[in-house]
Structure 1
Amino acid sequence: MSLIGHIKELRNRILFALLFIGIGTAVCFWWYEHGLGEFIRAPYCNLDEAFVGPNGDCGLLITDVFGGALIRLKISFIAGVVVSAPFWLYQVWAFVTPGLKKNEKRYGVGFVVVSSSLFALGATLAYISLSAGLELLLNLAGDDVIVALTAQDYLGFVISILLAFGISFEVPLLAVALNLVGVLSHELLSKSRRWIYFLTIVAAAFITPTQDPFTMLLLALPMCVLFEVAIQIARVVDKRRAKRDGLAAFADLDDDAASPLDARPSSLDDRPSALDTRPTGLDEPTT
């Protein structure tokens, strides 16, 4: 294709991707009153009555006229991007695929599937830990404080912790990708295993917005397991790469060429020869 053809193709792909995101946003905007809003507020509503009121009143405050509409649009847009991800990701993939080789397409599909799964796993763990983190942070305010969360602050908190967990779970995959391109070796990763685990725990303490030990360990422990899986994958990849490089060293030799073996005679020793078939353990005849 010509340069103009590539630009037109890119424009069409972007328009289709935006169309799918718009459709997903519209569906989620309708879904907000049928379960999506309750799903977002569930970690807050599951708190003790001291925080949400005796009647389970877990409503969020809105301090301006357009606050409710903006919050609903923001939640609907984020959920629409997630719901329509298979459709707009296909548009990205369809634009990139013609320039990739067969093995590159295979690696690309695997990378997208694994990265999406890791992000979803991290976001799920974050959602599970939201109630515990909120309760710990709100308890620090004391007993004489009335809790009244605004919708903007609560939504920002939820989004920040979901992104923190989801993006953090992508880091071990980055280590595998660097190993596949030859930047990181298994030997280096194996020697740095203790430092990797230590820095992972320290990073989890800084990344988690709640700053409580439960949420920190919920992020750090799965990341350590994922890093160990990445190290083992790097070990297998390096072993296969070494075997492939060893075979490639003889690729330019002719089939009738002599093998590069050391033909010098070895020194004799007192060990019995392999051709010696005399029975052992018998006494020698005396003279």
Structure 2
Amino acid sequence: MSQPVRTRKQDPGGRMPLGEHVRELRNRLAKAVLAVLVVTVAAAFSYKRIINIVTRPVLASVGCPTSFADLARQPAHTTCAHITINGLLAPFTLALKVSLVAGVVLASPVWLYQLWAFVAPGLHERERRYAYAFVGTGVPLFLAGAFFAYEVLPRTARVLIGLTPHGVNNLLPLDDLLDLVTRMVVVFGLAFEMPLLLVMLNLTGVLSGRRMLGRWRAVVVGITVFSAVATPSTDPLTMLALAAPIWALYFAAVAFSLAGDRRKALRERPA
């Protein structure tokens, strides 16, 4: 005799017993971890190609020539970096790190869905609508910030390598370079999410557009300081390259919030 299929027991308010809640969390985590592991194993077979894609812009900017033809085209007294990797186990560790990072990134649709599927039943209809908008807008914004970092990194690398004294060989470990690229991509991606967070706070009634506009000077200074700390180079152009898009996104969020507050006031005005 077949066993009945177990379903999530919950009341009309979206609540469920603690035991079912823990089992649901365990199942969602297992599916998310399994997805990351599968993609990590698949990425391990192409980790060299992944490294080439991630580091190509920086290496093209600061890497020393590897052929006589490239050396002849290089201007005199140009500082460059020799990419190195040290130790017998270093290549294996590097392959493991790159594969795992690729697994987390490429499997993000799966584990984000599992996270959403776990949280969504406890949300009201209006909160679900906001969450859908947040996810649908947040992913493109994060990717835009990551791509922006990918484009800014070569200029940053040139400035940093250019500080090397003449006559000194700059040995750049490959794992350090990958850590720098990953950190910059994550920082830029998260920074581009800040205006979206402000819009969500406005939609939920926590923060008004007028209050956001009143703090614009402090926010602009805060974004500038954050950009100066987040970018590893001392080049002001690199700092502005990060700060300017966030400024624009912030004022776009303020304009959106002011318009939303105006519409809400018109709806609540007595006829």
TM-score normalised to the size of structure 2? 0.84
In the TM superposition, what whole-angstrom CA distance separates every residue of 1:4-59 from its partner, at most 9, and x where no partner exists?
111111111110000111111112111213x21211220232125xx413426987
From 28, 40, 47, give the equivalent of 1:25. Answer: 40
> Residues 96-111 of structure 1: matches in 2 within 5 Å?
96-111=119-134
CA contact (8 A) 1:160 1:209 kept: no
1:196 CA displacement: 2.3
For residues 113 and 211 of structure 1, what CA distance do their matches in structure 2 show?
Answer: 35
For the pair shown, the structure with the greater C-alpha radius of gyration is 1
The separation in 2 between residues aligned to 1:155 and 1:176, in whole angstroms, is: 33
Deviation per CA, 1:133-152, whole angstroms, max 9, x where unpaired?
Answer: 11110101122121211122
Find out whether 1:52 has 2:64 as its counterpart. yes
After TM superposition, the structure 1 stretch with the greater mean CA deviation from structure 2, 102-111 or 218-227, is 102-111
Write out aligned runs for 1:8-23 (5 A): 8-23=23-38
Q: Which residue of structure 2 lines up, in the alignment, with residue 204 of structure 1?
A: 227
Q: Match of 1:13, as an amino acid?
A: R
Matches within 5 A, 1:1-287: 1=9, 2-33=17-48, 35-47=49-61, 51-55=63-67, 60-247=83-270
Contact residue 55 and residue 181 of structure 2 kept, 8 A: no
The alignment covers a number of residue pairs equal to 245
Task: Give deviations 1:239-270, integer Å, cap 9, x for gaps.
Answer: 122223324xx8xxxxxxxxxxxxxxxxxxxx
* Larger displacement relative to structure 2 (158-167 or 217-226): 158-167
Distance 2:108 2:157 in 1: 29
Structure 2 unaligned blocks of 5 or more: 1-8, 10-16, 72-80
Give me the TM-score of the superposition, normalised by structure 1: 0.79
4+ residue segments displaced more than 6 Å:
56-59
- Give, in whole Å, the separation in 2 of the partners of 1:100 and 1:216: 39
Aligned sequence identity (%): 35
Structure 1 unmatched runs, 5+: 251-287
